[in-house]
């Protein structure tokens, strides 16, 4: 029986090495293919930073004073409506208390004037009514007395004529003395009644004068009403002014507390607790995470296929285990060097070809916005637009 030559260890190792080499070549080829494919389909850059167009500075709008409470510092997360700072409210509280007391006093004074006017008006109405009735009654009584006087004077005139006639008849002894005496008695009685009526008529003058005085008093009360109306109007105007001042003082007192207008973070603190702040001066600078975006400076030779709407993967150096997503919002129309503090001068003819970087604004669509800070750097991968 013939013996087959056995495989030596050297040839076996050679085969293993060849297999490993082939596997490495395949892996490298796949990696190279994926790298080239990725570079063809994605525009990459590490010239990336977090930016924001809105850095909100907040402060006390109408009030100033010593800050007695400042519970936040730079970098703190804040919620909308959270207390950020408080200044000493004593002065503003005293002003509110003083104006409140003055407003209450003026209101009570106005109520007293209104009650007085109501009372005077009621008295005037009653007095005017009574005076009108008295004058009407006196006038009627005067007219009646005048009529009686006139009637009695006519009667006396008739009696005098009768007396003269009877006297002639008595002298002629046609009638007895008793008839003439009776007529004379009637005439004297009528004359006495006339005197009494004339006296009664004169008695109406003081009563009429008293009624006229009452009417004059009514006119005076009407003037008093007008004066009260002016005082009430002045009090009402003063109350409005005090109320406006009180509302302003209450608003100032309320403004001694500075509260956050947004959910975000404190970017900077301009003053410390115990400092004196003037009205309108900023106390804190706040950042709203919803206003954050990414600026990527992309080389001009990588702009092919980069258009608004392209999907973007964002990596921030400070958070290696986090990833954000976004989309291209705008490819800005000028290079970053255009607005540099020392732009290149090529007017002398000296020129070196340098790849220019074009700013690309990226809107963040996914990821923990609360972790981002303005100025952080990172990398982006922009998915090129398919053509």
- Reply yes or no on domain 42-57+287-383 having CATH 3.30.530.20: no
Put simply, whether the predicted model's pTM sits higher than 0.75 gets the answer no
**What is the DSSP annotation of 316-373?**
ETTEEEEEEEEEEEEE-SS-GGGG-SS----TTS-------EEEEEEEEEES-GGG--
Distance CA 87, CA 62 (A): 12
CB 269 within 8 A of CB 77: no
Q: Which residues contact 227 (CB under 8 A, 6 or more apart)?
A: none
Distance CA 323, CA 311 (A): 13
Residue 234's pLDDT band, with cuts at 50, 70 and 90, is very high
Report percent pLDDT > 70 for the chain.
86
**What digits encode the pLDDT tens for the residues 247-288?**
999 999 999 999 999 888 888 899 999 999 999 899 999 988
> What is 92-254's CATH number?
1.10.287
Whether pLDDT at 171 is above 90: no
In Å, the largest CA–CA distance within the chain is 224
Distance CA 305, CA 374 (A): 28
Q: Phi and psi (nearest 5°) for 227?
A: -65, -40
Report percent pLDDT > 90 for the chain.
33
Instruction: Give pLDDT, residue 1.
Output: 43
Distance CA 36, CA 45 (A): 16
Sorted by where each begins, the domain ranges of the chain are 42-57+287-383, 92-254
Distance CA 66, CA 277 (A): 6
> CB 105: neighbour CB atoms within 10 A?
12
More confident position, 41 or 243: 243
Check the CA dihedral 34-38-39-44 and report its sign.
Answer: negative
Instruction: Give pLDDT, residue 353.
Output: 61
The single-letter DSSP state of residue 348 is T
Which of 29-33, 285-289, 318-322 comes out lowest in average pLDDT?
29-33
Beta bridge partners of 59: 282
**What digits encode the pLDDT tens for the residues 108-152?**
999 999 999 898 888 878 877 777 777 777 777 777 878 888 888
């Amino acid at each position: 029986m013939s013996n087959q030559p056995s495989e030596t260890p050297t040839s076996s190792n050679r085969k293993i090495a060849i297999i490993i080499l082939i596997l490495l070549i395949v892996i490298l080829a796949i990696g190279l293919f994926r790298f080239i494919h990725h570079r063809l389909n994605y525009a990459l850059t590490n010239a990336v930073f977090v930016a924001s167009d809105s850095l909100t500075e907040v402060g006390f709008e109408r009030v100033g004073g010593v800050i007695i409470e400042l519970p936040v510092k730079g970098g703190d997360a804040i919620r909308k409506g959270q207390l950020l700072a408080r200044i000493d409210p004593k002065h503003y509280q005293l002003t509110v208390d003083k104006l409140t007391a003055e407003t209450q006093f003026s209101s009570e004074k106005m109520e007293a004037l209104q009650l007085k006017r109501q009372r005077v008006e009621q008295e005037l109405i009653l007095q005017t009514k009574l005076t009108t009735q008295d004058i009407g009654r006196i006038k009627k009584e005067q007219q009646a007395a005048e009529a009686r006087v006139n009637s009695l004077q006519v009667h006396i005139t008739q009696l005098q004529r009768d007396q003269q006639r009877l006297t002639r008849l008595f002298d002629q002894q046609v009638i007895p003395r008793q008839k003439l005496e009776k007529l004379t008695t009637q005439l004297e009685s009528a004359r006495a009644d006339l005197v009494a009526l004339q006296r009664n008529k004169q008695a109406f003058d003081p009563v009429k004068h008293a009624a006229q005085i009452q009417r004059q008093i009514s006119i005076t009360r009407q003037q008093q009403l007008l004066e009260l109306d002016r005082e009430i109007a002045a009090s009402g105007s003063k109350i409005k002014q005090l109320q406006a001042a009180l509302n302003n003082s209450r608003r100032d007192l309320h403004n001694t507390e500075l509260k956050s207008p947004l959910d975000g973070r404190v970017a900077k603190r301009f003053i410390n607790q115990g400092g004196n702040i003037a009205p309108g001066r900023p106390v804190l600078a706040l950042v709203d995470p919803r206003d954050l975006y990414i600026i990527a400076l992309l080389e001009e030779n990588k702009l092919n296929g980069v258009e608004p709407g392209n999907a973007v993967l964002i990596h921030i150096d400070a958070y290696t285990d986090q990833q954000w997503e976004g989309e291209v919002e705008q490819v800005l129309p000028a290079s970053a060097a255009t607005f540099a503090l020392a732009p290149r001068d090529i007017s002398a003819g000296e020129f070196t070809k340098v790849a220019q970087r074009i700013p690309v604004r990226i809107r963040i669509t996914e990821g923990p916005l609360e972790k981002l800070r303005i100025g952080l750097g990172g990398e982006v991968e922009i998915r090129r637009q398919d053509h």
